[in-house]
Every structure is written in C-alpha cells, then in structure tokens.
Amino acid sequence: MSINSAKKEFIYWAHLLWERGLVTGRSGNMSQKTGQGILLTVTNCYLGLLKSSQIALVDGQGKLRQKEKVNLTSEKDLHLGIYRKFPKINAVIHAHSIHTVGFFNYYSKLDILGFEARIHLDKLPVVPQFTPTVTKIEPVLAALEKNNIVVLKNHGVVAMGENFRLAFALIEMLEEQAKVNLLLRGRR
C-alpha cells in the first residue's frame, strides 16, 4: 500500500473516531505501521478534521522520514514501544472516550454485559495515569500482554490491532459497555 493510500485509510478511521464521539477536540492520537515506516499523528491535531499533512512518517526510533518538519504527538514513545514489543501489531489508537473515562473515574470494575464483549473485554486491564501524557509506558505495555485494549485511568484508552478496524472495534465496544454500566448504575 502506498503512503498516500495508507494516509487516506488513516484519515477515514480518525474521522470515524470523532463521528462516534470517541475523541473530542485535540484529544487522541493514532499510528499505523507500513512497509515504509510508521505513520503517526502530529501534536495538537484535531482527529475529526485530520489532514494528510498532520500524519508524519517516522522510523522505528521516531526519527522523521520526510522532508517536512513537524512536532510528533506527545504519545510517540507509547506508540513506538507497542510496535517494538508486539511486532504483529500494525495499528494503535489512543482515544479519550468520555463514557469510559467517566466510568473508571467512579468505578474500578466494569460489568461485561454482552456475549461478544465478554470475548474481547475479558480481563480488561486498568492502568493508573497521573499525567496528561503517558510518561511510563512499561505498565501499559505489560497490560497489553493481557488484552489488546487497556484503560488509562483518568486519561482514556489505548487499543492495538492488526489494523485500524480491529483496534477501533475494541474502543467502540468498551465505550458501549461503559455507557450501559453507567445507565444501569444511574449515572449519565
């Protein structure tokens, strides 16, 4: 797949995250492994209006592989760490889905209420976060050994997959379960 084709797919999933309310404002970031390197969002981009120029091409160490100079997302080390630890992973999405963030602000354990969700969200890891950027990636990487999605308490979620569709599906499913749990527990 060419870089231009990969960027078009990247933009499709970024816009879908926004349309589904899984990111707002300038929150969230994404990356995708390609044959030419890793595509990674720049800092302060708005995923709902993401443009091709806001997706940088980097190598496995995060060095730019393009002429244009940009500031990469502050979560660059997390994305690159995931690709190093899980070589079969090709896509990473970090979202700030509001119901999931809200749920884990009040509660520590999510009741999984659907058959498909039980398959994919069983043993859902929750990693405490104390800063706006994931500065200690090791606990997140360890949690991703148990599941392809991890809750970053007070921050958001990180999902990984062989492609954006699989990572996106995990975030969407988790958000649905958080919403249902909040409704059943009387919080909106």
Domain ranges of the chain: 3-184
**93 contacts 158 by C-beta, under 8 angstroms:** yes
Q: Which residue has tokens 């443009």?
A: 51
Q: Mean pLDDT in each 10-residue stretch from start to end of the chain (188 residues)?
A: 93 97 94 96 95 96 88 95 98 97 93 91 92 93 97 96 98 96 82
Residue 166: per-residue pLDDT: 98
Question: What is the rounded CA–CA span in Å between residue 89 and residue 31?
Answer: 11
Count the neighbouring beta carbons within 10 Å of the beta carbon of residue 155. Answer: 20
Question: What is the rounded CA–CA span in Å between residue 97 and residue 119?
Answer: 21
Residue 122: per-residue pLDDT: 85
Residue 121: half-sphere exposure toward Cβ, Cα within 13 Å: 25
Q: How far apart are the first and last CA of the chain?
A: 43
Question: What is the rounded CA–CA span in Å between residue 100 and residue 109?
Answer: 11
CATH 3.40.225.10 is right for the domain spanning 3-184: yes
CA 127 to chain centre: 14
Residue 187: per-residue pLDDT: 57
Q: Which residue has tokens 């707002």?
A: 24
Question: What is the rounded CA–CA span in Å between residue 43 and residue 73?
Answer: 4
Residue 136: per-residue pLDDT: 94
The backbone torsions φ and ψ at residue 19, rounded to the nearest 5 degrees and listed phi first, read: -60, -35
**pTM for the predicted model, two decimal places:** 0.95
Strands 149-153 and 156-161: antiparallel
3-state SS of 105-138 is: HHCCCCCCCCHHHHHHHCCCCEEECCCCCCCCHH
Which residue in the list 9, 68, 75, 176 is annotated as catalytic? Answer: 75
Active site includes 68?
Answer: no
Residue 89: per-residue pLDDT: 98
Residue 51: per-residue pLDDT: 96
